[in-house]
Chains A and B, each alone.
Chain A
Amino acid sequence: MQQQAVTVTDLYGFPIKVLPSQEEERRSCDATVEREQVAWMPYIEKERLPNSESKLKEMIRKGVPPTLRNWVWMETSGANKKKAAHADSYYQIMVKAGEDSPYKKDIEMDTQHTFPEHPWLSSPDGRAALSRVLQAYSVHNDRVGYVRAMNTIVGLMLVALNRNEEAAFWLLAALVEDTLYPGTYSRNLEGCQVEMRALDELIAGKLPRLHAHFAAIDFDISMLATDWYLGLYSVSMPSETTMRVWDALFYEGPKIIFRVALALLKIYEEHMLRVKDAGELMMRMRSAAATMHQRDVLLGTAFEGIGSLPMATIDRFREQKAREVEEMLAGRGIKAESAGGATSSGGAGPGMEKAAEKMKQGFGKFMAGVTKLADKTAEQLAKMNTKDSGDFAAVAPPPGSGSPAAAAPGQAASAAAQAAPAPAQAAPAPPVQATPAGAEAPPAAAAGEKHDSANPFL
């Protein structure tokens, strides 16, 4: 049976090309959202999140209902706290100051290249909104300024947060200043390099065969992981999948980036072991991640399929790698940022302290925003669910798309690996197959485009 890829619009307005089997996977994951939404109801009524951390973690790992993301993210990430610690008008002041940001040119250039396929983000309105947030942030945190990758992160935040620019600003602040490994966006991206080297050690421990293969073909995991650690998967996977990762990232922190990285690698391990060229491996793996619609499988593998991942282990590697990165930079004659600089500045820009006054913000204020829900996201979700409601029960869940919690460790991953060949066998030849030399490998498809096609490994 020949499967024809169709273009559909995902929940966040990205046009994606999917095969019928992939569309089923997406719908099956939507059904999970629908089911899990019930668990959130009591908390919506009470206008507060569960007190129990383990309860909250469990609910978040299963996915935050899209209409609640604004509320939940702002709470769990600490963005609301940050916002409350500044004057009401702080964001507006930063927007104004941002008009003279030293990064204005960089930002202007990159906003022209941010998700060019997304109708709103590529429109003058979308670009202007994105520029305002990025410029404001670059003056708020002038030690970090603007780094490419923030554009796609904020772009995705804006479409997920119903274009709420101020919310995106504070979420970015919470991420860069309090959540991610310090120095991730520093002058030489030291922190990002430390994280990627730590990941390499974790791969050696968890996926030793793959690690040996990477070494044999001279493949550096940073070739893939730069997008993961700097871009937080914003350009790496379908937006609906990335949002699930972010749900957990905002609550549990950067460990989630490691878990998802290891899960992606585990799911495609067998495929990667057959690719003998570093460049080809990079492009194929990127394309594979870009078609990861089985978000339940990915997250299931991340949480249940890769075993324990104590923060102490990550921290031990980080310490060791931080020294290595420092030596590497020194060896190349690149001046490392001072220890203080590597830790991203959390403070307000100079001169802004005066303006900062504690803002009393009651819970009800942002709950009002949540309950309004007149946002496009809710509308779209509703439309989608109405349209497909008859199908949900009838659609047999694809292999591996069962409840992640129910999957035994390792099970979810193998299920995904088995499921993966199906679309590709039936699909029109994927571009990489067309020529053995791989000359047609999609150019930088992952770099800011959310395109989909069949499994690129087959």
Chain B
Amino acid sequence: MGSGKSSLVLRYVKGQFFDYQASTVGAAFLTKTLPELNVKFEIWDTAGQERYHSLAPMYYRGAAAAIIVYDITSPDSFTRAKSWVRELQRQGSPNMIMALTGNKADLEGQRAVTVEEAQAYAAENGLFYIETSAKTAANVNQLFEEIARKLPKPEAVPRPPQGGIVLSESQQAQNQKKSSCC
């Protein structure tokens, strides 16, 4: 299993969890609207395998937020998460909100990355830090809601009327991407 990026997004957007989720090659795209916070998430779920690293910029370019997910039972995945953080610091937009997320918190018994270590790293780098479990849904909503709250408030611009299925570039839309680590 990977770090559970796709599972995390699916849990949040659809409230579902699959043990055997098809793995991501390109990227998946999902949206979710939070009317009470006036935010629409457009979520790009990118591939975690290292080789796909070089394809990532087209997905995080212009993103308002990034979630970097690692698996709390895998020190390797934490190392890779850090390399993503460095890349996003270098290449992402300067105001990008970054959330470092330790997933699979339900596997406490197999924990290999301590809360203290992750917390310290997050503090040093100005990241928002949380631990989640896509499997039990623990903290999943909190993760996204916290990001929504941190996003800069949009100017109140009414949506132009649109026909059919065409989705407008809404002023309230916030790009938010999921980057990876695995």
Interfacial residues, chain A to chain B (CB-CB below 8 A): 106, 109-110, 112-116, 122, 147-149, 151-152, 185, 187-190, 193, 218, 220, 222-224, 226-227, 230-231, 235, 274-277, 279-280, 282-283, 329, 332-334, 432-433, 436-439, 441, 443-444, 446-449, 457-458
Given A189-B55, A223-B27, A227-B25, A109:B1 Cβ within 8 A: yes
Given A109-B1, A222-B58, A448-B23, A443:B169 Cβ within 8 A: no
Asked if B121 CB lies within 8 Å of chain A CBs, one says no
B87 to chain A: which residues have CB within 8 Å? 332
Q: Give the distance to chain B from A323, nearest Cβ to Cβ, in Å.
A: 16
- Tell me the chain B residues, 1-48 only, with Cβ under 8 Å from chain A: 1-2, 6, 9-10, 13-14, 18, 20-33, 40, 42, 44-45, 47
B21 interface neighbour in A113, A122, A235, A446, Cβ under 8 Å: A113
Cα distance, A218 to B58, chains bound together (Å): 10
Residue of B nearest to A113 (CB): B23
A122 touching B20 by the CB < 8 A rule?
yes
B49 touching A147 by the CB < 8 A rule?
yes
Give 19 A-B pairs besides A439-B13, A444-B6, A448-B22 with Cβ atoms closer than 8 angstroms. A188-B54, A189-B51, A189-B54, A222-B55, A275-B167, A282-B29, A329-B54, A332-B87, A436-B167, A437-B167, A438-B167, A441-B31, A443-B10, A444-B21, A444-B45, A447-B22, A447-B24, A447-B25, A447-B28
B165 touching A148 by the CB < 8 A rule?
no
Residue of B nearest to A331 (CB): B91
Q: Give the distance to chain B from A290, nearest Cβ to Cβ, in Å.
A: 12
Q: Is the interface of B mostly helix, strand, loop or mixed?
A: mixed
Q: Is the interface of A mostly helix, strand, loop or mixed?
A: loop
Given A437-B40, A438-B31, A439-B31, A432:B25 Cβ within 8 A: no
A148 to chain B: which residues have CB within 8 Å? 23, 25, 47, 49, 51-52
Interchain residue pairs with CB less than 8 A apart (8): A109-B2, A113-B20, A147-B51, A148-B52, A277-B42, A439-B31, A444-B22, A446-B26
Residue of A nearest to B9 (CB): A443
A185 to chain B: which residues have CB within 8 Å? 51
Cα distance, A170 to B55, chains bound together (Å): 28
Residue of A nearest to B47 (CB): A148
A279 interface neighbour in B31, B55, B90, Cβ under 8 Å: B31
